[in-house]
Structure 1
Amino acid sequence: MGELAGTVADLPPEGGPEGPEDWPARSLERSVHDAGSMGAPPALWAPRLSCSPPPGWGAARLLRLVPDPRTVRYDGRESILEEDGVCELVACLVDVRSLPSAGFLHPPLSRLRMLHQRLLGADPGRPGHALWDTLLGEPAVLDLFAHPGTGAPSGFSLACAGSTGVDGEPLLAVLAGTAPAYRARVLDQLHVLASRLVQPPGPIAEVPPTWVAPDGWDAVEEVQLSTETYLATVRLSEMWEGATVEDVEEVAFSRAPFLRDLRDHGRRRVAVGGVREATLRRFDWQPAGRARTLTTACFGLADGPAGGPPVGFTVVAEVPLGSEDARRQLDEVLERVQVLRP
């Protein structure tokens, strides 16, 4: 791909910095271009979560790349562009048992093409063209989306149901990306990054894939282990130097919905492979319009890359209070989870 041209969003405000080097917003396009260009050395990202699902459980692995908030330096001050649109890239490798039920008439590929609605944090827009492409070396359907008003590219979903899975099951994968209208050029580069996703042979929850992470982007990985009535989400995300387990818990609660009428059931220390220290906490609360929910959560810290800050480890499971699953302990999941060495 050729060099990315500047966009309206790259221009400094009137009376602001004189050159594009002083405009940090330009770095997003450059970092994605450098990671996605076939001639550039990739910034290898090796996810570290390894999980062995209990017999009969489904599994899904999510890899999420989100850029840091864009900032503007003006008159000696740096400000975050609060009105900036969402830009993200999500890869999902899924066990066929973890797909939402859509009836026996819907083949796996058709169901995968609907998963972008759950994966992306923002609506990618109205459907546009659909084309054949490749993902993980398998034939894949590329769905393109456009902004309703302008028709500018706004997102894409790349889905495949290959024949290289484990135990005769197909390898199911979705890669979805979205960007605001004035960053449409980034989508071309995000699509190129899809070709850098590599999944080694083996169960998707146990054997982590490899990918590339553009410079300055936050990388978050998740593994979801589920039955028909139970879901446990294991997450590993970047923290900061000096972060504690309490910080991991605070960040997790800041992303949670409003926990109305929370009643604590206590906490205790637990052991998780590859995690320095971990705490398990149980509480119930009252969601709006639903029965009371019992939440079991584990918070911990693991070593980060050499010389880098630690990473936060969380596991969250939510079930209706009083249900059969409410008696299920998270320990059976934790003993099957390991954070691999960086």
Structure 2
Amino acid sequence: MKYTTRQQALLLLSDGTIFYGKSIGLSGVAFGEVCFNTGMTGYQEIFTDPSYFGQLMVATNAHIGNYGVNDKEIESDSIKISGLICKNFSFNYSRPDAEESLENYFKKQNLICLSDVDTRALVGYIRDNGAMNAVICTDGTPIEELKTTLAQVPDMKGLELASKVSTKTPYFFGDENATYKVSALDLGIKTNILRNLAKRDCYIKVFPYDASYEDLASFNPDGYFLSNGPGDPDPLESAISVAKQIIENDKPLFGICLGHQVIALANGISTYKMFNGHRGINHPVTNLITGKGEITSQNHGFAVNREELENHAELEITHLHLNDGTVAGMRMKNKNCFSVQYHPEASPGPHDSSYLFDDFINNIKNSKN
């Protein structure tokens, strides 16, 4: 693909709706499920979050790129979104500690970007009509040809994507002399999750998405962690089996986002694809245990069935999303296991929920006594 700038370009939705804009970067096409993030900051963390793999990101903030990029603000080793749609793309940046422009960052990682789009109208359309597949085209490919190819792109429901972003081989994170050892199943883990565990005196061994319980247990960990990640949780049979075995052995277990959904499935609770997911850094959640509210960072297109969870004898809801009443957290009554649908590590986002990492460490301490 050739690198070009400011060429006429478009976004084609699977229902035939077209939004026009201009190319920033590569000349070509990019397919994925179109979604939007309402965060005002943190675009680099969002673009490198493995949970966004396979998605075309609409940025609702009017300006993208205005503070450049910095290698300290990445959540994985590369950009994970399939493409970006924005209103105003800033070629210049003003932050003193930025290392380069977002334009150069996209150019090096071959990301297709569409700017000058009426993102307000686009987000309103997605909210009314639901998440759907789409294609960004910046190379003049005929509309009918795009429609034919787009019709062959698989829906996110039923799509297993953890294998696309998980580590291929185990690796370690943190101080090997730390007090606690944690085995983490990488379904698309964010680096800031590992940072949060490490600064709480944990030494983490990160395993591939399809690692067995025996693999994770071979590290002789004090606790287990199931990470966030992209795609539908239902096809993750190996991860669900691992969760079942951890729970059966009553080992301390903490799950975030996709890991939360895997724990639900391990307990026979179904998940479903949302009409529109939750993606942003200002989502209100209520903690049913403490009665306190939290402003949270969220990024998910699937959720746990609330009715089934309420009727489950061994599970209870701990957190609810205040906008739509969906399940935001749960715990097992008789096992050392809890999980949340949102991102307590934030990055980007508020730190209201960072106490959940402390809860995990306390569970580990109590299990060792």
Whether the TM-score (by the shorter chain) exceeds 0.5 is: no
Higher RCO (CA-CA < 8 Å; seq separation 6+)? 1
What is the TM-score when the length of structure 1 is the normalising length? 0.28
Q: If each structure's helix is expressed as a fraction of its own residues, which one has the higher value?
A: 2
TM-score norm. by structure 2 comes to 0.27
